[in-house]
Amino acid sequence: MTRVTHASTRWTIGQGSPLAVIAGCNVLESLEESLAMGRVLKSVCADLNLPYVFKASFDKANRSSITSFRGPGLEKGLEMLSTIKAELNVPICTDVHTADQAMAVAEVAEIIQLPAFLCRQTDLVTAMAEAAKAKGSLIHVKKAQFLAPWDCKNILSKIRETYSANQIILCERGTSFGYNNLVVDPLSISEMRKLGVPVTIDATHAVQLPGADPRSGGTSTGGRRDGVAIIAKAAVAAGADGVFLEFHTDPNSALCDAPSCLPISEARPLLTQLKALREIVSENASDA
């Protein structure tokens, strides 16, 4: 299994590296909120010596309802992310939803993210590969809720047709299990790592209950916030190289996936535990 490094920022993930952290907010609500969370997360990761990337979406294109908050959009969102990047001096991760967004996003983001529901869309995948190649970006691929972990090899193959550098990270984010439910199989972590790329766990979206938020009568996604730490710890114990987490200063008022995001006050204790787990796993791997 290889280690992936972003050339200019030296952010690393994979074999021999500390636990990598991709964390921030689900969607850009305001610049002030995003900067507040980014400052806390940067400080925590610096204290723990964990490589950190700020994550936020400029658009949530797959909301349950047409009336749901989507975010500021591409132009305003990339402007906000550029400001966050400059003020906090951190790398950025954000999603790409359409092929024509890829190059603009890669201008700002060191990690461009392929959403789970879109991971088999060939035109989008190849456009992201072209943009990543041009800008030296990394690609973070969310495994679809309907996809077996070993079938991610086909996504990797599509990317490598254009971008031969091994600058790809796979992400486990749960698998559909009947209606309105997701489960995480910890064995999927090792299966995806067998493909020769680092693997992260999206513990935030893995606790979703799609279309099952009782507050909205099924027009939004529910979640089990208490499960985020459980899934994150289980995945790191299973060998995950990084964690993807979303926070909010007031989770219950978050405009997207409120039942799944964590209060920012929990970042330090959770990441401290996850770092310790990663070190134990790495020690055991080196002894084997």
Mean pLDDT, rounded, for 225-236: 95
Number of structural domains (the chain) is 1
The Cα–Cα gap between 184 and 197 comes to 19
Q: What percent of the chain has pLDDT over 70?
A: 92
Mean pLDDT, rounded, for 149-158: 97
Catalytic residue of the set 42, 55, 59, 60: 60
Find the range with the poorest average confidence among 69-73, 237-241, 250-254: 69-73
The residue ranking higher by pLDDT, 249 or 209, is 249
Q: Which range marks the domain in which residue 48 is found?
A: 3-287
Mean pLDDT, rounded, for 94-98: 97
Mean pLDDT, rounded, for 32-60: 96
CATH number at residue 69: 3.20.20.70
For every residue of 34-92, DSSP letters joined together read: HHHHHHHHHHHHHHHT--EEEEEES--TT-SSTTS---S-HHHHHHHHHHHHHHHT--E
Catalytic residue of the set 26, 213, 233, 241: 26
- Give me the pLDDT at residue 258, please: 77
Q: What percent of the chain has pLDDT over 90?
A: 77
- The answer on pLDDT for 266 being more than 80 is yes
Catalytic residue of the set 158, 213, 257, 275: 257
- The answer on pLDDT for 217 being more than 60 is no
- Give me the pLDDT at residue 182, please: 87
- The answer on pLDDT for 49 being more than 60 is yes
26 is catalytic: yes
Give the amino acid at 104: A
pLDDT tens figures, 191-212 = 999 999 999 999 998 887 876 5
Residue with tokens 């080196």: 286
Contact 45, 21 (CB under 8 A): yes
60 is catalytic: yes
The Cα–Cα gap between 198 and 235 comes to 13
Mean pLDDT, rounded, for 165-189: 92
- Give me the pLDDT at residue 260, please: 83
Pinpoint the alpha helices (H) of the chain.
31-48, 74-88, 102-108, 122-135, 153-162, 187-193, 227-237, 267-287
With cut-offs at 50, 70 and 90, classify the pLDDT of residue 213. low
